[in-house]
Chain A
Amino acid sequence: MNDVVRRIGELLVRLQSPDYYDREDAVKELGTCSEDDAVHGLVMALEDPDLGIRELAADFLARIKTPAVSQLLIRCLASEDIGTRNLTCEVLVRIGSDAVPVLIESLESDDRDVRKFVADVLGRIKDPRAVEPLCARLADDSRNVVCSAAEALGEIGSPEAVPDLLAVCEKTEDARLHAIEALGKTGDPAVLERLYEYLESPDPMLQYAVIEAIGQMGLVRAVERLIPFFDSTDPAIAEAAMSAVITVSVRSREPVACDPPLDRFTDFLLEGIKSRDPATTHYTLDHLAQWYGSGIMEGVFSVLEFVDDDTFRRVVEIVGEIGAPAGELLVSRLSVSSKQLKLKLLDAARLIVDEEFARHVMPYAEDDDPEIRQRVAHLQGISGYVGAVPTLKKLALDANGHVRAAAIAALGWLCGEEDVDFILTGLDDKYPDVREATVGALIIVGGSKVIAKFTADLYHEDTERQRLAVTALGWIGEVDVVEPLLRAINHPDAGVRKSAISALARIGNVSDVEPIALALNDENSAVRKAAVSALVTLRGGWAFHHIRPLLDDPDVWVRYHTISAVGDIGDPKYADYLIPYLDDSLDVIKIATAKAMAVLCDERAVPALARLTREKNADLADAAKVALTRIGGTT
């Protein structure tokens, strides 16, 4: 014990050290002690000249939620230093409800500044135990205390405070605005009629506060009393009324019948969207479709580059709802927009792109900016407008690779076999995205010419072209690709062989599986695995006797794959062949076998599986347990 006391004494001395790291270490060590002297030290450190140390001390103090700490902290509220007072308030807020009893007591402090700060803290903690004591402070002789108490009651929002707040409104002019704000936050409908009386006040500040408070209450029936203020000659009042209606709309989640004069409020609403105010944005977008024609739509388009992704998505949907007229408006904005805005406008047109729109934006295919040209190419494709093909062919030869890729993808959506020769040139492009877009386009177009080209490419000098070709043939998936793919099973490149086999499995309709069966002896293990899967997919149980030798393949992963494939066949008669592998020397093989047993459900596997449940390897034990459960469930 003496050691601890001595140590704390040393640390307290170090808190006065001129060296920052010395003081920091001292605070860290004090933070681990629960003794009162240590806590005192931390409180002292709240006045350290360095912000980092003050915040470190605050962190430690916030974790000690004893009344003694709260008592010490409240003393700091009387500090002359504003930084210390603010930090102390933060710590008390972080301590939260544990500090409330001490804070409530401190509302009786002789120091009016302390009473004021305590009220502020209680408001931020929002503990309902503070309501009655704060109501008592509404009669405090300090205006600041009364205002803070009123604000705090607003933060807590308890209707119990309403009578006292109303009394403040009546009697205490200095605190009236704070009381009105607080009344709004209580949300008590009984307050509404009294607030209406204050609406008649000639004092614009009072009117403003009342309008805001009514908005905060979120009661739809109050909207009709706000609407007349839309015509106020004081723009601040008019905007407060608009803002209040928006707040009511958002809080009540009910439709609010209101047609604000948009010529007065367009800027207000757009500014709200631009600043990403959620309530204003939400309200405006909810009404945007019905307000179409008022000019606000153009305004929304003009701020599109400032909105977040969710808002943008909503605008796109609304544009889709309005349809072609919105498209015309969009096109008219393009010529007067910055590059960033143009891109947003073009993206916003996604749901309404049609032939007419495509024709209107065609001139932008010659825009100086490649991103614009790329977007236009994309939209031409989406539009389905066959008249765009010549423009897209020009863009397919653009200097910019992204533009070429977009144009070729679009050509795939629009073109037929007659344009295949042109699209094929994209396979020789130096830019990989263009080559990929070309493959995609050709897959859609399909047809004998495309199949012939890719069949020839299977033996191109470039390995990447070979692999693209086999992939493309697989995706084209027509009957005519089966023969070339079967031949490709003997391709010199293992990647091509593997892809060909996998493609054939997916296509199905393979009458002759002999080449695939021969691939079970391929030198490459990936090819052998692909062959196993393909045969099982194409022939089911018939494949078993072909794949059976691979249960003893030299490659462990081929063995694993084959065991799994036998499980996939799902026929219990093959369980016999797998059961011995439950005693394999390799865990991974035992796992595969246990999983297969969970499908095949052969009781003869039970003894071996039961042994495996005691294995240290958790994956193996789990697989065995699952299999036992399944087998148990079927017996």
Chain B
Amino acid sequence: MDIRTREEGSVTVLYLKGRLDLASGATLKEEVKKLFAKGCTQIHLNLAEVEFINSSGLGSLVSVMKEVRLLKGRLTLSNLASYVQEIFDITQLSHIFEVFPTEEDALVSSQSVSVV
């Protein structure tokens, strides 16, 4: 999986491309850990180019979410393919994650929320 990063104000946007499974999930967790080390706790994942996600991939997202919550940060997702949205619905992960239709929607939401 390729992971490209971009800063947008206080939010770090990660663009994931490829399959999100056991191996790439571990890569994602490492990348996020690096961001935490730099003090970045506002993270947005753009999943537009994620073509496949399995149980391990979901587990890595949940793991990242837990870490973000512990640091009182915020994690948002956007651009889920219909297949990924379906798996989020089946597992009810759409209740845990803040999922937005587009990256822009997520970033606008982040701007209107400032951590007190």
Interface set of A (CB-CB < 8 Å, partner B): 289, 317, 320-325, 351, 354, 378, 381-384, 409, 412-413, 436-437, 439-441, 443-447, 475-478, 506-508
Residues of A contacting B92 in the complex (Cβ-Cβ under 8 angstroms): 409, 412, 437, 440
Nearest residue, chain B, Cβ from A353 = B69
Complexed CA–CA distance, A476 and B52 (Å)? 11
- The reply on B96 being an interface residue by CB < 8 A is yes
Complexed CA–CA distance, A210 and B51 (Å)? 64
Complexed CA–CA distance, A289 and B112 (Å)? 12
A354 with B58, Cβ < 8 A, contacts A321-B114, A437-B92 known? no
Residues in B82-96 with C-beta less than 8 Å from chain A = 83, 87, 90-93, 95-96
Counting from the closest, the 8 A-B pairs by CB-CB distance are: A477-B54, A446-B55, A440-B91, A384-B66, A476-B55, A409-B92, A440-B90, A444-B91
Q: Are B62 and A413 in contact (CB under 8 A)?
A: yes
Nearest residue, chain A, Cβ from B19 = A508
- The reply on B3 being an interface residue by CB < 8 A is no
Nearest residue, chain B, Cβ from A384 = B66
Q: How far is the CB of B52 from chain A (nearest CB, A)?
A: 7
Residues of B contacting A478 in the complex (Cβ-Cβ under 8 angstroms): 21-22, 54-56
Nearest residue, chain B, Cβ from A322 = B116
How many residues of chain B are within 8 Å of chain A by beta carbon? 30
The 0/1 profile, CB within 8 Å of A marked 1, for residues 105-116 of chain B is: 000000011111
Interface set of B (CB-CB < 8 Å, partner A): 19, 21-22, 52-56, 58-59, 62, 65-66, 69-70, 72, 83, 87, 90-93, 95-96, 98, 112-116
Q: Are A320 and B113 in contact (CB under 8 A)?
A: yes
In-complex Cβ contact of A443 among B22, B55, B112 (8 A): B55
Complexed CA–CA distance, A445 and B55 (Å)? 7
Q: How far is the CB of A354 from chain B (nearest CB, A)?
A: 6
A475 with B90, Cβ < 8 A, contacts A413-B62, A446-B59 known? yes
Q: How far is the CB of B47 from chain A (nearest CB, A)?
A: 15
Q: Are B52 and A382 in contact (CB under 8 A)?
A: no
Residues of B contacting A384 in the complex (Cβ-Cβ under 8 angstroms): 65-66, 69-70
Complexed CA–CA distance, A439 and B91 (Å)? 8
Q: How far is the CB of A598 from chain B (nearest CB, A)?
A: 23
Complexed CA–CA distance, A508 and B83 (Å)? 14
Q: Are A317 and B91 in contact (CB under 8 A)?
A: no
Complexed CA–CA distance, A351 and B95 (Å)? 11
Q: How far is the CB of B107 from chain A (nearest CB, A)?
A: 15
A321 with B113, Cβ < 8 A, contacts A444-B62, A477-B55, A478-B56 known? yes
A508 with B90, Cβ < 8 A, contacts A382-B95, A382-B96, A444-B59 known? no
A441 with B54, Cβ < 8 A, contacts A384-B65, A506-B83 known? no
Complexed CA–CA distance, A320 and B74 (Å)? 10
Residues of A contacting B90 in the complex (Cβ-Cβ under 8 angstroms): 436, 439-440, 443, 475
Nearest residue, chain A, Cβ from B114 = A321
Complexed CA–CA distance, A506 and B113 (Å)? 37
A317 with B55, Cβ < 8 A, contacts A444-B91, A477-B21 known? no
Q: Can you list 6 A-B contacts (CB < 8 A)?
A: A321-B114, A382-B96, A413-B96, A436-B90, A446-B56, A478-B56
Residues of A contacting B22 in the complex (Cβ-Cβ under 8 angstroms): 478
Q: Are A441 and B52 in contact (CB under 8 A)?
A: no
Nearest residue, chain A, Cβ from B54 = A477
- Which one of B52, B53, B58 has the greatest number of beta carbons of chain A within 10 Å? B58
Complexed CA–CA distance, A381 and B91 (Å)? 12
Residues of A contacting B93 in the complex (Cβ-Cβ under 8 angstroms): 413, 444
Residues of A contacting B113 in the complex (Cβ-Cβ under 8 angstroms): 317, 320-321
Complexed CA–CA distance, A247 and B42 (Å)? 36
A477 with B62, Cβ < 8 A, contacts A381-B96, A436-B90 known? no
Residues of B contacting A507 in the complex (Cβ-Cβ under 8 angstroms): 52, 54
Residues of A contacting B59 in the complex (Cβ-Cβ under 8 angstroms): 444-446
Complexed CA–CA distance, A382 and B69 (Å)? 10
Q: Are A441 and B91 in contact (CB under 8 A)?
A: yes
Residues of A contacting B19 in the complex (Cβ-Cβ under 8 angstroms): 508
A323 with B72, Cβ < 8 A, contacts A436-B90, A444-B58, A477-B55 known? yes
